[in-house]
Amino acid sequence: MTQTPLPVVISCGEPAGIGPEVVARAWAALADTVPMVWLGDPRHLPTDIPHRIVDTCAEAPAISATALPVLATDFGSAATPGVPNHTHAPHVIDVIAKGVALVRDGQATALCTAPIHKKALMDGAEFAYPGHTEYLAALAGVDNVVMMLASDQLRVVPATIHIALDQVPTTLTSQSLRRTIEMTHAGLRDLFGIAVPRLAIAGLNPHAGEGGAMGRQERDWIAPLIDQMRNEGFDLQGPQPADTMFHAAARARYDAAIAMYHDQALIPIKTLDFDRGVNITLGLPFIRTSPDHGTAFDIAGSGVANPTSMIEAIRLAHRLALS
C-alpha cells in the first residue's frame, strides 16, 4: 500500500505583510508537486486563490493539488495590508507554536515560516525573542541553533545573528565559533548529504586583521581555533578577508561560508540571489525553512510581491524532509 505523504506546514507570519500572498502564489506554483497546509486566518488570504479548510494535516495531501489546505485560526479580524494590527500578534505567535507541534508530533514533515514583524509582536504581545530563530529554539527546547542562508549560488552562516554591531566582538568567542562550525558541518552532512563539508571562515576585521594591524582577534584566537579544528579532521579555510570570499572562483572552493556577523553573511547572498535565498535553521529537532525576506509592508496587498523565495523555501523543506 502506498503511504499518503505528509504535508509541509506553513505558518502565516504577519498578516499585514506579503506573507499570505506569497504563500498563495507558492501554492499555485507547487500544487502538483509539494503537499502543504497553511496555518492562519482564511480572511487574510488573497481572494483569487482557492482554499479549503481542513481539520487535520492528514487531509491536506488529497486537497493540495486543487486548493490550498488551511488549518484555520481565528485572528478576530481581517488584515489591512501594510498596517499591523496589535491584536493579531498573539495569534501570529501561537500559529508558529502550532506549526512546531504539528511537525514534532509527526503530523507534518517540515515547517516553513512566513515572515514576521518583530516590532509588531513586541508591541502587541511583548514578544521576548530577537527573531523567529530564537523563538523556534525556545519552542524546541534547544540552547543553540544556527541560521543558514542558502541558494544555488551560496550557503552562508552568520556566527552571531540579531545583535548590534558593537556587541559582536565581545559576543563572539572561541567556544561559540567552534559550535557554529560544528553545527554547520553537521547540517551539511546530515541534510545536504555532503560527506566531508568544506567550510570557509571569514575574519572579523578588515583584511582578516592583517596580522594584527587592523584587529587582533584573528591572530589571537580565530586562526588558532581553525588550526586546532583542522587537526581534528575539519576541512576549514581561513580566516579569510570577507571582501574576497564571495566572488565566483572563491565560492567554488567551499560548501558553506561562516561569517562573523549578520550583514557580513546576508549582504552577499542577497546580492547574489535575492529572490531565491532560503533561511534554514540548523540544530532544531525538525526541518525549518523560511524565505529570505521580510514583511515588505510597502508593497503588501498590491499583488506585486515576488513569491520565488517562498517557493524555494517550501520546495527545499519538502526535499530535505524526503532526503
Where does 143-283 sit in CATH, by number? 3.40.718.10
**pLDDT value at position 159?**
96
Which residue, 57, 14, 66, is CA-closest to 296?
Answer: 14
Q: Is 132 annotated as a binding residue?
A: yes
Q: Domain ranges in the chain?
A: 1-142+284-323, 143-283
The pLDDT tens digits of the residues spanning 131-159 come to: 888 899 999 999 899 999 999 999 999 99
Q: Is 279 annotated as a binding residue?
A: yes
The CATH classification of domain 1-142+284-323, taken from the options 3.40.50.300, 3.40.718.10, 3.40.50.1470, 2.60.40.420: 3.40.718.10
Torsion over CA of 79, 95, 277 and 52, rounded to 10 degrees?
Answer: -70
Mean pLDDT, residues 88-101: 95
> 266 vs 83, 177, 277, CA distance in Å?
26, 18, 10
Mean pLDDT, residues 8-13: 96
My answer on whether omega of the bond before 169 falls inside 30° of 0, hence cis, is no
Contact call for residues 265 and 235 (beta carbons, < 8 A):
no
For residue 80, the cross-strand partners are 83
What are the cell numbers at 307? 513569491
**Residue reference for cell 587592523:** 214
Q: Is 180 annotated as a binding residue?
A: no
**For the whole model, what pTM was predicted?**
0.91
**Confidence band, pLDDT 50/70/90 cuts, at residue 3:** low
Task: Please return the burial class of 306, using the count of CB atoms within 10 Å of its CB with bins 0-12, 13-18 and 19+.
Answer: middle
**Radius of gyration of the chain from its Cα atoms, rounded to whole angstroms:** 20
**Confidence band, pLDDT 50/70/90 cuts, at residue 4:** low
The pLDDT tens digits of the residues spanning 270-286 come to: 999 888 989 999 999 99
Dihedral pair phi/psi, residue 68, rounded to 5°? -75, 115
**Neighbouring residues of 267: CB distance < 8 A, sequence distance ≥ 6:** none
What are the cell numbers at 128? 521576548
**In CATH terms, are 1-142+284-323 and 143-283 the same topology?**
yes
**Confidence band, pLDDT 50/70/90 cuts, at residue 259:** very high
Element (H, E) at 284: none
Q: Is 262 annotated as a binding residue?
A: yes
The pLDDT tens digits of the residues spanning 277-321 come to: 899 999 999 999 999 888 999 999 998 999 999 999 999 999 999
Ranges 123-137, 159-173, 226-240: which has the least confidence = 123-137
Element (H, E) at 69: strand 68-72
Torsion over CA of 129, 130, 132 and 134, rounded to 10 degrees?
Answer: -70
Q: Is 207 annotated as a binding residue?
A: yes
> How many Cβ atoms sit within 10 Å of the Cβ of residue 150?
26
- Average pLDDT taken over every residue of the chain: 93
Is the pLDDT at 2 greater than 50? The verdict is no
d(CA 176, CA 301): 41
d(CA 67, CA 135): 30
